[in-house]
């Protein structure tokens, strides 16, 4: 699985970083970045949860 953040949509709410800090981190510039390119299976549920929970719908998974 891969996760992508749309920088145009992300407003830095940080919900993703709270739900799955192993994968998402808040960049100094105020938007989230994906820290792991190929997401391990153990984090997939949390990443899906983060994608659903983002108020801006900025996270997509594939």
Contact 43, 23 (CB under 8 A): yes
User: Closest approach of Cβ 43 to ligand F3S, in Å?
Assistant: 15
Beta strands in the chain (DSSP E): 3-5, 24-26, 32-34, 59-61
> What is the biggest distance separating any 2 CA atoms in the chain, rounded to whole angstroms?
29
Q: Which residue in the set 2, 4, 11, 25 belongs to the binding site for ligand F3S (CB under 6 A)?
A: 11
Q: Specify the residue, 18 or 40, whose C-beta has the smaller distance to ligand F3S.
A: 18
User: Closest approach of Cβ 11 to ligand F3S, in Å?
Assistant: 5
Residues at the contact surface with ligand F3S, assessed by CB under 6 A: 5, 10-16, 31-32, 54, 56, 58-59
């Amino acid at each position: 699985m891969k996760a992508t953040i749309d920088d145009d949509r992300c407003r830095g709410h940080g919900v993703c970083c709270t739900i799955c800090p192993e994968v998402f981190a808040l960049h100094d510039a105020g938007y989230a970045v994906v820290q792991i390119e190929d997401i391990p299976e153990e984090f997939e549920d949390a990443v899906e949860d983060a994608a659903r929970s983002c108020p801006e719908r900025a996270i997509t998974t594939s």
